């Protein structure tokens, strides 16, 4: 599989939903496969909160592949022998696209808290600008899970007819208070961490020891990504063999797992980016800017293929079912598939074998 990483630089302003302007800005993106002569085999893949443009394949020297490697590649659900796949890192992130720790032109000082609030709509607008610069004016499909699914839906509403198919997985039409409450734990933990210094920390401040506030907040997030049953199966009530049961801070295996994963995460993900992306997730509402959700959905010209997961305790499958019923009443082309899973929200990343064939069928069906 041919993998290429690029950075696109834009000097024209990006007009944000807030009324502010981002100028100039960069978008880093990765491509897989080959663009055909007709330029009609392009699949845009959108990442979730902690993802990046590196969706598949291995970088030289790395042991861990891209976050959706099980789905993207030769002969896989998104077959790179047939499709040209583009995955961008969203604006506001910390993996190469312009974000809060990027230099604030014309100075070399980072934006920090002067970075404008960005929304899912803004992320999509930036992606649309990139595609235009690449000479791509039609997509075969847009695919994404969680926050990536939000982007896919927003793209379908804001740019009707640009994509032939839209495949959102494990996402809502608007973020509910349940999710915002989980995110609040992360926001407050980061803000109250003394080393956060109100966003004025050094760029490499957390590289070695991590950000305690982000690690704590990530624990709350990680709980929401799993399910009670998946935790039972993965950990049971097993206790760490080297810890004493009657030691005050002795740990169950589930506690050790949370510590290990979240501490590592807090060394590689920038806390300011986390705050900005969480804000984008919290403010997601497909109907904003339109008279109603019904009016927003009526704009869609793509065929919409919704994939929910039975054990998702973050974005419940009934949220996707609500959209499916609306599309059905409108007579719009759509399908809804609920995947039988006890894993939780992260099933869209982990249990790819349960739905990859669906995505393959959707991409290969005749229009």
For 89-141, how does the pLDDT look when each residue is reduced to its tens digit (9 = 90+)?
Answer: 999 999 999 999 999 999 999 999 999 999 999 999 999 999 999 999 999 99
- In the structure, what pLDDT confidence band is assigned to residue 2 with cuts at 50, 70 and 90? confident
CATH architecture of 3-174+285-364: 3-Layer(aba) Sandwich (3.40)
In this structure, the dihedral spanned by the alpha carbons of residues 177, 179, 180 and 184, taken in order and rounded to 10 degrees, is 130
Average pLDDT for 281-289: 97
Contact 122, 14 (CB under 8 A): yes
What one-character DSSP code corresponds to residue 197?
G
Domain ranges of the chain: 3-174+285-364, 179-280
Q: Is the pLDDT of residue 26 over 70?
A: yes
Catalytic option among 50, 146, 230, 266: 146
CATH architecture of 179-280: Orthogonal Bundle (1.10)
312 has catalytic annotation:
yes
Catalytic option among 52, 305, 345, 346: 345
Catalytic option among 79, 193, 312, 346: 312
Average pLDDT for 36-46: 96
What pLDDT score does 303 carry? 98
Contact 193, 213 (CB under 8 A): yes
- Other C-beta atoms lying within 10 Å of the C-beta of residue 360: 17
345 has catalytic annotation:
yes
Q: Cα separation of 327 and 162, whole Å?
A: 18
Contact 17, 158 (CB under 8 A): no
146 has catalytic annotation:
yes
pTM value is 0.97
Residue 186 is encoded by which pair of tokens? 């992360």
What one-character DSSP code corresponds to residue 116?
P
């Amino acid at each position: 599989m041919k993998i290429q990483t690029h950075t696109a630089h834009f000097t024209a302003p990006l007009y944000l939903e807030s009324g502010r302007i981002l100028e100039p800005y960069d978008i880093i993106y990765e491509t897989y496969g080959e663009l055909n002569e007709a330029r009609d085999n392009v699949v845009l893949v959108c990442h979730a909160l902690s993802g990046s443009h590196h969706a598949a394949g291995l970088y030289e020297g790395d042991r861990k592949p891209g976050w959706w490697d099980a789905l993207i590649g030769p002969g896989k659900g998104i077959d790179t022998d047939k499709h040209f796949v583009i995955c961008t890192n969203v604006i506001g992130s910390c993996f190469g696209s312009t974000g809060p720790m990027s230099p604030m032109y014309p100075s070399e000082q980072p934006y920090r808290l002067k970075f404008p609030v960005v929304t899912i709509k803004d992320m999509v607008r930036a992606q649309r600008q990139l595609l235009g610069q690449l000479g791509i004016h039609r997509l075969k499909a847009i695919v994404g899970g969680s926050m990536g699914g939000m982007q896919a839906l927003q793209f379908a509403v804001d740019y009707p007819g640009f994509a032939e198919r839209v495949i959102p997985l494990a996402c809502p039409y608007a973020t509910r208070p349940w999710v915002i409450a989980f995110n609040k734990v992360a926001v407050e933990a980061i803000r109250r961490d003394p080393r956060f210094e109100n966003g004025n920390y050094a760029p490499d401040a957390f590289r070695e020891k991590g950000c305690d506030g982000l690690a704590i907040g990530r624990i709350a997030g990680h709980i929401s990504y799993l399910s009670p049953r998946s935790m039972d199966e993965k950990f049971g009530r097993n206790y760490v063999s080297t810890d004493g049961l009657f030691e005050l801070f002795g740990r169950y295996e589930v506690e050790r797992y949370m510590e290990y994963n979240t501490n590592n995460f807090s060394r590689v993900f920038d806390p300011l980016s986390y705050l900005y992306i969480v804000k984008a997730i919290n403010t997601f509402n497909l109907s904003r800017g339109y008279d109603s959700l019904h009016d927003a959905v009526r704009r869609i010209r793509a065929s919409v293929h919704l994939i929910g997961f039975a054990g998702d305790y973050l974005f419940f499958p009934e949220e996707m079912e609500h959209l499916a019923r609306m599309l059905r009443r409108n007579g719009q082309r759509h399908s809804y598939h609920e995947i039988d899973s006890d894993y939780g929200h992260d099933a869209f990343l982990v249990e790819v074998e349960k739905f990859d064939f669906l995505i393959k069928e959707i991409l290969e069906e005749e229009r």
